[in-house]
Amino acid sequence: MKTPPRFNGPLPLSEAMSKLILTPLEDGRFHREGPRSFVEYRDLGMSEATGGRISGKHIRAIQPFSEETGWHWHDMTAHFVYVLKGWVKFRFDGVDESVTVVAGSCLSQPGGVAHNVVGQSDDLELIEINMPAEYITAECNVERET
């Protein structure tokens, strides 16, 4: 069965220009306004381009990882992490082993899943894509056997 088109296109670029967003890689676009003090963030313009349906951030380490983020979850429908450089290590509620995402790998994390970032390389760079762009992050308690 063929999937019907979801979009009435193709459109000439002149009609679609409000949706074409280019975000160049410039150090001046990174900022430290975010939940983690050991990284900096760069908005990729996806929220503006999609009317808030999707958010994309380029995130990179700015100092050595010194402590876990703590158990938390995000009120979102999709969460993707693509590592460009280095690695990041997660723990997930209900999973015994940690999950390490290395350069060139993508993690599709279901929304609402309790997790804890437990390590990262000093040279970490990643792209994070979320749906929707605006969401709530909530701390939670996860009992772990030692």
pLDDT digits (tens, 9 = 90+) for 57-90: 999 999 999 899 999 999 999 999 999 999 999 9
pLDDT, mean over the chain: 87
Q: How far is residue 56's CA from residue 34's CA, in Å, rounded to a whole number?
A: 13
Does residue 93 surpass a pLDDT of 50? yes
- For the question of whether the overall pTM of this predicted structure is more than 0.75, the answer is yes
Q: What is the pLDDT of residue 144?
A: 62
Give SS3 for 86: coil
State the Cα–Cα distance between residues 67 and 47, nearest whole angstrom: 30
Query: Is 80 exceeded by the pLDDT of residue 25?
Result: no
Q: Is the pLDDT of residue 146 over 60?
A: no
Ordered by where they begin, the domains of the chain are: 27-139 (2.60.120.10)
Q: Quick one: pLDDT at residue 56?
A: 95
Interval 99-129: pLDDT, tens: 999 999 999 998 889 999 999 999 999 999 9
